[in-house]
Structure formats: C-alpha cells, structure tokens
Amino acid sequence: MVFATVVACKKDTRPNYQFMPNMYEPVPYEAYQEASVFPNGVEAMLPAEGSIPRGGHMPFEIENTTEGYELAKATLKSPLDSMKIDANRGKELYDIYCGICHGNKGKGQGKLVKREKILGVPSYDDAGRAITEGSIYHTIYYGKNAMGSYANQLNEEERWQVVDYVLKLKADLEK
Amino acid sequence: MRFYSRIFTNFTLKKPYQSLEDNSTKNMIQVIYRQLTSKIPFLGLVILLTFSTSLTAQEGDPAKGKTLFNTNCAACHNLDRKMTGPALRNVQARLEDEHGLDIDWMRSWIRNSAGMVKAGDAYANQIYTEYSGTAMTAFPQLSDQDIADILAYTAEPLPVDDGGDDDKDDDDKAAGTDGVSNQLILGALAILFCLLAMALILVRKTLNRFAEEKGIEAVKEDKSLPLWKAFVQNQFLVLVTAIFFLLASAYFVYGYLSQIGVDQGYEPVQPIHFSHRIHAGDNGIDCKYCHSSARVSKTSGIPSLNICMNCHKSVYEVAADTHKEGLNEYGIDYNAEIKKLYAAAGWDDVEQKYTGDSKPVKWVRIHNLPDFAYFNHSQHVEVAGVQCQTCHGPVEEMEVMYQHAPLTMGWCINCHRETNVRVEDNAYYTKIHEELSKKYGVDKLTAAQMGGLECGKCHY
C-alpha cells in the first residue's frame, strides 16, 4: 500500500532514478534523439531529395501550382482497382484525418467547423469546385488554400483509399 | 519541415494590403469612428444602412451574409487579416473609392474570377499576380441576393471589444477570499488550541496550590524501575520490537527500491504548453491525426510542426473564453503559446508565409521504455486495436501530459494475461487459433496463451 501511495502521489516534473542506467539508455540512435552527428543535433530529418520509399511508391510529379491542380483534375486517375479498394479503411482514415473539418458526411460541417475554429470548409458537392479523383489527390498531397498537406500522414495507397471514399461521399451528397 | 515551408511560401506580397485607416481619408466611417467612439454601434448601423441602400441595388442582410461568408469565403478570407486572399472589411467601398469598380464587377469576379483574369481585366490581373497566381474558386451558385448579403456583412464596422476583464477580477477576488477564509479558520483553531492548553496549565497550578494549602502531599512517584529499564530487562519484548522494526523498515525499503525506474506520474514542463484537453478533448481530434505513425511504426511519433500548422494557419488565437480559462485556471496564455509555435515553424502571421527560419522544438520525452524492452505501437494500435487510452490514460482530460501507467513488466504481463485477442476475420491463422483454443479449453484466446509471455517476445 505504501508502495502504491508513493508511486501514485509522485507527480513530478523530474524523472525518477534509474537502476543501472547503462541498460536503460540505448546504444543506437533512437527516434527524435538529439545527437551531435546530425546537423543542428536534430535526428528527425527529411529523406534525401529524390529518395523513393520501399513498397513501390512512385514519386508524384505533378507540380504544386494552379496549372498542376488543373492537370491533376483532368488527367490523374486512381491506380487502385476495385479489388484493392477497401471502403472500411478509407472511412477509418477519412474519419481520422478529414472528418474533423470536412465532417463525416463530407458536407463541410466537421467538429472544428461547428465550433467555429476553422471556417469556410466547402461541401464536396460544391459546383464551383467540381472535384475529381485527380484534384482530390492533388489537394491531399499539397494542400489547398488554408488546408495543409497530408502527404506525411498518409502514404500513397492510403491517400487513394481516402480519395475513393471522398468520391463516395460526394456521390451520396449529390443524390 | 523545410519541405513544407517551401510548399506554403508560394505567394509573396509586393504591397501589403493597406488597412482601412491608412487609405481612406475620404471615407465617412473613419472620421466618425475616430471621433465618437462611444456611439459606434449606433452610427455603424446608420452607416451600414446608408451604404447598403446607396451602393447596392438590393439590400443585403448582414446576418445571412455572415452564414454565407463562413461557409463559402472564410476558408481564404478574413474580415480584418490577410489569409490566402485579402482582408475583406469594407471591400465594396474600397473598390469603389480606389478603383472605381462597381457591384457588377464584384459579381462577375465572385462567380468566375479565372475568366476575368483570362479576359484581361486590368484590376483582376493585378490581384491575381499580387497573390502569386492563386486563383479564387468560382462561386457560380451565389445569387445577386447572396452576394449583396455577403457584402453587407463585410461592410459591418469592427465590433468594439468591451473588455472581459471585469469577470476576471471577480474570479480573482472569489479565489482570494476562499484562500483567506481557509487561513482564518486554521488560525482560529490554532488560537483555540493554545487557549485550551493554557487553561489546563492554569487549572493544574490552582489545584496544586489547593493541595499545598490543605497539606496534602502530592502522590509521589513509585520508586520502582523506570519504564525503559523494565523494557530492556524484558528480553522477549525487546526481541518482538526488534523484529517489528526490522520488518517495517524492510517494507519501506522494498517499497522505495521497487519504484526506482518507475516514472508513473512524470509530468515535465514542455517547451510549448500543449493542452491535450483542448485538442483531443474539447475539439475531439483523433489521437492518430497528429500521432499518425502510431498506425504504421514502432514509434508513435511526435508530430512535426507542419501538422500543427495544418490547423494553426487558420487558428491564430484561441476563443476569448478559452483564453480567460487558461489564464485563470492554469496560468497559461494560450495565444502566447501559439506565437511560440509560429516562431518555431518560421511562420510569419502578418505576411501569411513561411520565412524559412525555423528551429526545432525540444519536447521532453515522457514515456520511456528501457532499451532492453521492445515495444511496437503499430502492433498494438493497428493489429490488436487497443485504444490509446488503455495505456496512456485519459489524455483527453490532461491539461499537462503525464505518464499514466507505470510501464513496468508486471503491468505489461497483466494486460497480456487479461486481454482477449481479436481472432475474427483473420483467415490466415484460423486453424492455429482453433488448435490453441482446444489446447487451453477456452473460447477466446488471451495474448498470454498465444505466447505473449515468452521472454524473447520483448527481450532480445
């Protein structure tokens, strides 16, 4: 009981003692570690330019410009065939990353919008935007206007799953 | 970070949009605004009505306009600060005064700005280049009435901040009196105790005096052995006491030793005060939104600053209530913390672009498993579907993040013994799962029964 109280009441701003720290501290570099071998001591660095991650993710070559957006909107198509599309996963990812602003139905009424933290989130059936799979992917990859890029939270395959789910929401809204 | 900085710095401003006060000497609102601050709401209404009747063919409804503005325009425009697009307060009057552009120009701009740029309209092209070729989304669905409503909303005068300081003072006073009353009660109790003690001493003295006067001798103490000598002579008692003391101290020493290396409740001060209570609790942002690599990697990932900026490009200050709550209850100025984020990410809030001058934030690590124990987030989060809160506690209620679980081996093992594994929809392992169920004679397998207690699973 004393042990429990000692532990439970210890709400400290300093870490506890360690027994034989040699076995606690890692020899190799750990994620986010500060180490003199890296520039400015920051281990969390960007991959070298032009590097391609494992898993066959190809670099995205359309540029982050208005022209690039139009090009993607007109020509870019999803590489996922009907077998690879997993609506459940698309929904799961959409609800985490997009639903907070765009709303779980895609009407632009997410929780942050309802609480007036972020405003002006359009509905997916907005006529002036007329989004396509290519433009959705371009927007997820680079962001658009006030929306930021989601390229580092979702990998290529996940992005296309989300794109497919967004198209499904758009179709539901247009019914 | 640097990568994203480059992405977002696409627009550069040659000339910052002049604020209302600088540019419109002819503007009626300004003059009145400066001189008669006390009558602003009334005058504002008058001016609003004059403007909307004299300048627009249709009368706009500012309330409807606000809704329309928030759904359609607010993604890129704010009334008083530059965002992706220019600030829009009094945009109609300004365009009229400075560029001689009428409501028809605005209507066609709103409905199809790209078309006007292509058609070679002078001011349309000027704006387009000023905002580095960011084309404004077309809004063909807005009717003349909608546009009039939105413009009426933009023509509303800046609301005067009537200072929410009064409430704060009251709160302070209330808190102050509370503390004072507690101290008062304690002080009174202490005085009472002293008085009682003194009274007792006095009574004893008087009784002694009575006794002396009546010639009664106070009862003399026994001449037998003093207590401690009797104690020392009684060997059995000494032995029992010694054993008791040894056991008690062993108990405390054991308690102290076994909490070494356990950091439950560790609550360091972070370089930027990040409130999980507001983000994950009030706003309901999913844990995996920021800690996205928990889905796919060993480490759950501290979000890089571009993820903060996904929202904080738009959320440049907290709501007035939240700000007050932060100051009063936690002693934290949330807006100053957002400024710290901007400084670290190298975001220039006025110019709305990245300066490229970013510096890493030195977050203090809280949950730290020793190197000899292996733990993988994706295995628990994605495969097992364990809720983050199972190990990290009620993070959505934590104003300051602390370590909820002890992270000891006993704690890991306990969970592995109690938790049933999700074996459904896992065709590849169906057979082995069935065999294991038969072997242990259970319906549902726990992690322990599947080998989750073997040393080599976590220590190698």
Instruction: Give alpha helix (H) positions in chain A.
Output: 2-9, 66-75, 87-97, 99-102, 111-114, 133-142, 156-174
Do residue A11 and residue B267 have CB atoms under 8 angstroms apart? Answer: yes
Instruction: Give alpha helix (H) positions in B36-120.
Output: 40-55, 62-68, 91-99, 103-111, 113-119
CB B59 within 8 Å of CB B53: yes
CB B15 within 8 Å of CB B130: yes
The rounded distance, in Å, linking the Cα atoms of B352 and B413 is 51
| DSSP H/E element including B123 | helix B122-130
Encoded amino acid at B6, one letter: R
Phi-psi label, residue B23: left if phi above 0, alpha if psi -120 to 50, beta otherwise: alpha
The rounded distance, in Å, linking the Cα atoms of B171 and B184 is 20
What does the pLDDT read at residue B164? 42
The rounded distance, in Å, linking the Cα atoms of B58 and A136 is 37
Distance in Å from the first CA to the final CA of chain B: 35
Task: Search chain B and give the residue with CA nearest A99.
Answer: B285
Do residue A146 and residue B313 have CB atoms under 8 angstroms apart? Answer: yes
CB A74 within 8 Å of CB A138: no
Encoded amino acid at B219, one letter: V
Rounded to a whole number of angstroms, the distance from the CA of A83 to the nearest CA of chain B is 17
Selection from A149, A108, A137 nearest residue B74 by Cα: A108
Residue B460 sits at the chain A interface (C-beta within 8 Å):
no
pTM value?
Answer: 0.69
CA dihedral A97, A103, A108, A109 (to 10 degrees): -130
- pLDDT digits over B153-192, tens only? 888 777 765 544 444 444 444 444 556 788 899 999 999 9
- Supply B239's token pair: 């032995």
Chain B contacts of A8, Cβ < 8 Å?
264-265
Q: What is chain A's Cα-based Rg? A: 22
The rounded distance, in Å, linking the Cα atoms of B138 and B142 is 10
Residue A147 sits at the chain B interface (C-beta within 8 Å):
yes
What does the pLDDT read at residue B288? 92
Selection from B79, B87, B95, B82 nearest residue B24 by Cα: B95
DSSP 3-state percent helix, strand, coil across chain B (nearest 5):
60, 0, 40
Chain A contacts of B258, Cβ < 8 Å?
3
Distance of CA B85 to the CA centre of its chain: 28
Encoded amino acid at B26, one letter: K
What does the pLDDT read at residue B195? 95
What does the pLDDT read at residue B19? 44
- Supply A93's token pair: 């990812």
Q: Which residues pair with B398 in a beta bridge?
A: none
* CATH 1.10.760.10 given to domain B2-154: yes
Selection from A4, A31, A30, A28 nearest residue B262 by Cα: A4
Residue B307 sits at the chain A interface (C-beta within 8 Å):
yes
Q: Which residues pair with B347 in a beta bridge?
A: B354
Phi-psi label, residue A79: left if phi above 0, alpha if psi -120 to 50, beta otherwise: alpha
CA dihedral B93, B94, B99, B101 (to 10 degrees): -40
ipTM entry: 0.88
Residue A45 sits at the chain B interface (C-beta within 8 Å):
no
What does the pLDDT read at residue B41? 54
Q: For residue B428, give the DSSP letter.
A: G
- Supply B54's token pair: 């004299």
The rounded distance, in Å, linking the Cα atoms of B410 and B416 is 10
CB under 8 A, 24+ apart: contacts of B325-334: B326/B275, B327/B168, B328/B168, B328/B171, B328/B172, B330/B275, B330/B399, B332/B273, B332/B275, B334/B273, B334/B275, B334/B278
Report residues of chain A scoring pLDDT below 70.
Answer: 1-11, 56
| DSSP H/E element including B152 | helix B144-154
Residue ranges of the domains in chain B?
2-154, 165-258
Rounded to a whole number of angstroms, the distance from the CA of A91 to the nearest CA of chain B is 14
* Exposed/middle/buried for residue B181 (C-beta within 10 Å: 0-12, 13-18, 19+): exposed
The rounded distance, in Å, linking the Cα atoms of B350 and B42 is 31
Chain B contacts of A34, Cβ < 8 Å?
362
What does the pLDDT read at residue B149? 84
The rounded distance, in Å, linking the Cα atoms of B29 and A62 is 48
What does the pLDDT read at residue B58? 63
Determine the residue among A118, A124, A139, A142 to mutate to test chain B binding: the one whose Cβ has the most chain B Cβ atoms within 10 Å. A118
What does the pLDDT read at residue B222? 60
Query: Per-residue b/e over B394-413, b at no fewer than 16 CB within 10 Å?
Result: ebbebbbbbbbbbbbeeebe
Determine the residue among A2, A3, A69 to mutate to test chain B binding: the one whose Cβ has the most chain B Cβ atoms within 10 Å. A3
Return the number of other C-beta atoms located less than 10 Å from residue B363's C-beta: 15
Residues near A46 by Cβ (< 8 Å), separated by ≥ 6?
B1, B2, B3
Residue B12 sits at the chain A interface (C-beta within 8 Å):
no
Residue B306 sits at the chain A interface (C-beta within 8 Å):
yes
- Domains by residue range for chain A, with CATH: 66-174 (1.10.760.10)
What does the pLDDT read at residue B236? 92
Do residue B255 and residue A3 have CB atoms under 8 angstroms apart? Answer: yes
DSSP 3-state percent helix, strand, coil across chain A (nearest 5):
40, 0, 55
Selection from A163, A161, A139, A160 nearest residue A150 by Cα: A139
Which backbone phi and psi does B313 adopt, to 5 degrees? -65, -35
Number of A/B CB contacts below 8 angstroms equals: 177
Chain A contacts of B259, Cβ < 8 Å?
3, 6-7, 10, 16
Q: Which residue has the tokens 């706003």?
A: B283
Residue A173 sits at the chain B interface (C-beta within 8 Å):
no
Return the number of other C-beta atoms located less than 10 Å from residue B268's C-beta: 18
Do residue A100 and residue B284 have CB atoms under 8 angstroms apart? Answer: yes
Q: CB-hemisphere CA count at 13 Å for B15?
A: 6
- The tens-digit pLDDT sequence of chain B (460 residues) is 444 444 444 444 444 444 444 444 444 444 444 444 555 555 555 555 444 444 444 678 888 888 788 777 877 787 777 777 777 877 877 777 777 777 887 887 888 777 777 777 777 777 777 777 677 877 777 888 888 888 888 887 777 655 444 444 444 444 445 567 888 999 999 999 999 999 999 999 998 888 888 877 666 666 677 888 888 888 899 999 999 999 999 999 999 998 888 888 889 999 999 999 999 999 999 999 999 999 999 988 899 888 999 889 888 888 888 898 899 988 889 999 999 999 999 888 888 888 888 888 889 999 988 888 999 999 899 888 899 999 999 999 999 999 999 999 999 999 999 988 887 777 888 888 888 888 888 888 888 888 888 899 899 7
The rounded distance, in Å, linking the Cα atoms of A128 and B137 is 7
DSSP A68-91: HHHHHHHH------TTT--HHHHH
